Structure 1
Amino acid sequence: MHRATFMELCDLLSPALKRKDTKMRGALTVEKQVAIALWKLAMPDSYRSVGNQFGVCKSTVGAAVLQVANAIIDQLLSRVVTFGNVQTIVDGFTALAFPNCDGMIHGTHIPILAPEHRGDQYVNHKGYFSMVLQALVDLKGHFTDISVGWPGKMHDTHIFRNSGLFEQLQEGTYFPDQKITVGDVEIPTVILRDPAYPLMPWLMKPYACTLDSSKEQFSYRLSKCRMVVECAFGRLKARWRNLLS
């Protein structure tokens, strides 16, 4: 991370992290809290090892990581993960021959260390410990909605049905009321997904049976759009690997 990026991050998080000195001790500066958290999140070091790097005890490392993570959620998440301009996204997917679509939803596994409790819940179908990240992605690969922290053993459908996104889509409050007519069918704004998800009025997925030419064309167009979210996850994981290398 460049120094300018680090200082910008500290400035943005300062309202949530700045502390006053007490009679017993001086408060950790915002810069030190952020540095501790970034080091711990980027490296597989123990809390004790990170504490030795920064001259603090391991409990201080734990507190700094938690406080910085919460500050990022409170101060920055809404700036990074945004809904975007619906019409611009819809126009982009229309250019890929799928009309009135506002994104692709998918899940990916983020590797983690084995948790001390209920570790079996975090072993995914590939046999390693993970948490699941569910994301809605626009045509440019921007994350417009995320749900993260589910144990790796959880099925994508269960995660989706228990997410805030599903609730808003069911209530019809996530997208503006923007319908189009194809043939004699009125179609609301939809999102796309692979066959693992349920078919809903606002959730389209490819056919999973023997296809005639029209169904095959539908599934091809949907799968073409689906590559967007796969590429977005690929870039995210490439950045994570570069951070660890």
Structure 2
Amino acid sequence: MRKGTFMEFCDLLSPALKCKNTKMRAALTVHKRVAIALWKLATPDSYWSVGNQFGVGKSTVGAAVIQVANAITKLLLLRVVTLRNVQVIVDGFGAVGFPNCGGAIDGTHITILGPDHLGSQYVNRKGYFSMVLQALVDHKGLFTDINVGWPGKVHDTHIFRNSGLFEQLQEGTYFPDQKITIRDVEMPIVILRDPAYPLMPWLMKPYTGTLDSSKELFNYRLSKCRMVIECAFGCLKARWCSLLIRLDLSETSIPIVIAACCVLHNLCESKGEKFMVGWEVQANRLVANYTQPDTRVIRRAQLGTLRIREAVKVPSPL
């Protein structure tokens, strides 16, 4: 990030990071601790290597990462990872081809070291230890809701059904009550997902099985809009590529660090910080050893939901 963004970021975190000097040593400045944490999060470097860069011990690097991550989640998470102007989001997805859409949701696995407690629960379908980040993004790829901390063995649907977001969507309190009518069918604001979730009035997913031209077109429009969540995860991990190596943190610290990286993603994107091509090249190299698990397709649908999807689908040509 640019110096101006870094200085502003340090000012935001300063209330939670100020330390007093002791008789034994002078406390690290807020700026140095933030710089150490950002360097560690943004690179695959070891604690020892980062410590050498800043002239501190590896334990100091580890402490800085946890302190800064805690400060980010305490002071900025609810302010930065939040739903903003819904109409702008709906218009943004509408311009890409999907009506009355408020976001795209998906999950991604973050590799971790095998925890001492209930380690088998963290082994995902690809056979490595992971923790799941499930996120909703807007039309620009900014995170508007995140749910992190579930073991890699748990199916995406279970994670979603046990989230605060699911509860709000079911109750109709997450988005404003803004319905449109398509072919005599009322459609609320929806979110988009792949076939791993059940079809619901507020959750659209692609058709599976044999497809006619109208279903293929529907799937194309949905997939085009859903690319934004895949790009968001890609940018998140490429910019903060410590998420691409096995996080060697405690089970309780890992969700905090992942959430902090999501906040940093939103801040960098909203500030227009450049995304370097070299980061994606490095990310592709690092991710090669940890491919994302496939999720099982769910074929359930709530009563009446099929009518909404059929209404959105472009009619087959005569």
* Superposition TM-score, scaled by structure 2 size: 0.67
Deviation at 1:99, TM superposition (A): 1.1
Higher relative contact order (CA 8 A, sep 6+): 2
Distance in 2, matches of 1:21 and 1:134, equals 40
List runs of 5+ in structure 1 lacking aligned partners: none
Distance in 2, matches of 1:37 and 1:235, equals 18
Conservation of the 8 A alpha-carbon contact between 1:207 and 1:215: yes
Distance in 1, matches of 2:26 and 2:131, equals 37
Alignment of 1:1-245 (within 5 A): 1-21=1-21, 26-41=26-41, 42-46=43-47, 54-55=55-56, 58=59, 61-241=61-241, 242=279
Deviations 1:125-147 (A, max 9, x none): 22333222211122222222112
Q: Counterpart amino acid of 1:45? A: S
List runs of 5+ in structure 2 lacking aligned partners: 242-278, 283-318
Deviation at 1:124, TM superposition (A): 2.1
SS at match of 1:149: strand
Distance in 2, matches of 1:39 and 1:239, equals 11
Deviation at 1:4, TM superposition (A): 4.1
Distance in 1, matches of 2:280 and 2:64, equals 20
Change (3 A) 1:93 1:36: closer
Deviations 1:15-60 (A, max 9, x none): 11113345666444322332343344344524x77667644573x5
Distance in 1, matches of 2:238 and 2:29, equals 31
* Superposition TM-score, scaled by structure 1 size: 0.84
Deviation at 1:194, TM superposition (A): 0.7
Q: Counterpart amino acid of 2:30? A: V
Change (3 A) 1:239 1:32: closer
Q: Counterpart amino acid of 1:78? A: L
Change (3 A) 1:138 1:2: closer
Conservation of the 8 A alpha-carbon contact between 1:43 and 1:244: no
SS at match of 1:186: strand
Q: Which moved more, 1:172-181 or 1:12-21?
A: 12-21
Deviation at 1:186, TM superposition (A): 1.1
Q: Counterpart amino acid of 2:154? A: M
Q: Which moved more, 1:180-189 or 1:37-46?
A: 37-46
**Paired-residue identity, %:** 75
Change (3 A) 1:24 1:236: closer
Distance in 2, matches of 1:43 and 1:7, equals 24
Deviation at 1:219, TM superposition (A): 2.4
